[in-house]
Amino acid sequence: EAGVVQSPRYKIIEKKQPVAFWCNPISGHNTLYWYLQNLGQGPELLIRYENEEAVDDSQLPKDRFSAERLKGVDSTLKIQPAELGDSAVYLCASSSTGSGSYNEQFFGPGTRLTVL
Amino acid sequence: TQLLEQSPQFLSIQEGENLTVYCNSSSVFSSLQWYRQEPGEGPVLLVTVVTGGEVKKLKRLTFQFGDARKDSSLHITAAQPGDTGLYLCAGAKGGKLIFGQGTELSVKP
């Protein structure tokens, strides 16, 4: 079974440019998460989707970040415009409803963003 | 304020040594998970503990959930270079996972 797929794996852009990340979760997983991870730190949740609905976007900086999961499967996270402080790894994870309160999540390899 | 505090943040040991990583909080979690992350990869789930006082073993790794479900520990026996990586604890609360800041482990041959 394929795991969580993310692309691109690496992205280097200049500040003020837009950037987009793509994630395809594990087949059948209806919950999708986007996290931000700074070097040597734990992931921090940006947004959580249940199917196509964003059920928790309280930590998403909405002035420059946006996300969508139109058909409840794959998802796109966008930053426009990017700032120097956005340099980090952006992780996507998915889980199934059956995990219940255990909330066992499966992570993709991440996209490493460098803003120059 | 970090909801989950991991200690130590960095650990460098020789092959064959034992070590313990701690994950502490003032909050109660419905479950707690341990992940291991290698450079350039996403975190990989090692174990989930659910019941207060629960102990789970995974080969040379022993995980314990505190009686009050607020803290956990990971003990590695006879560490090997392949154990090198970032170890993350994460508590399940309110439908989401809250991660600690991680423990960077380096095992030298």
Span A22-50, pLDDT tens digits: 999 999 999 999 999 998 889 999 999 99
Which of A30, A50, A103 would you mutate first to test chain B, the one with the most B CBs within 10 A? Answer: A103
Position A101 scores a pLDDT of 53
Find the mean pLDDT for residues A85-91: 97
Question: What pLDDT is recorded for position B30?
Answer: 87
Given a contact cutoff of 8 angstroms between Cβ atoms, the answer to whether A19 and A39 are in contact is no
pLDDT at B25 over 70: yes
- Residue B77: pLDDT band (50, 70, 90) is very high
Report whether pLDDT(B1) > 70: no
Contacts of B4 in chain A (CB under 8 A): 42
Share of chain B above pLDDT 90, in %: 83
Mutation target for A interface from B37, B98, B103: give the one with most A CBs within 10 A. Answer: B37
Which residue does chain A place closest to B32, by CA atoms?
A102
**Could you tell me which residues of chain A have a Cβ less than 8 Å from any Cβ in chain B?**
4, 33, 40-45, 48, 55-56, 91, 93, 101-110, 112
How would residue B104 be classed by pLDDT, with cut points 50, 70 and 90? very high
Q: Using CA atoms, how far apart are residues A87 and A65, in angstroms rounded to an integer?
A: 13
> Pick from B89, B76, B78, B79: which is nearest to B36 by CA?
B89
Mean pLDDT of chain A: 92
Segment among A54-63, A83-92, A101-110 with least mean pLDDT: A101-110
Strand, helix or coil at B93? strand
Q: Pick A43's closest partner by Cβ from B31, B92, B99.
A: B99
B3 touches chain A (CB under 8 A): no
Residue B92: pLDDT band by 50, 70, 90 thresholds?
confident
**pLDDT over threshold 90, residue A96:** no
pLDDT digits (tens, 9 = 90+) for A61-75: 999 999 999 888 999
The predicted-structure confidence for A4-15, as pLDDT tens digits, reads as follows 999 999 999 999
Question: Is the pLDDT at B87 greater than 90, yes or no?
Answer: yes
> In this complex, is the C-beta atom of B13 within 8 Å of any C-beta atom belonging to chain A?
no
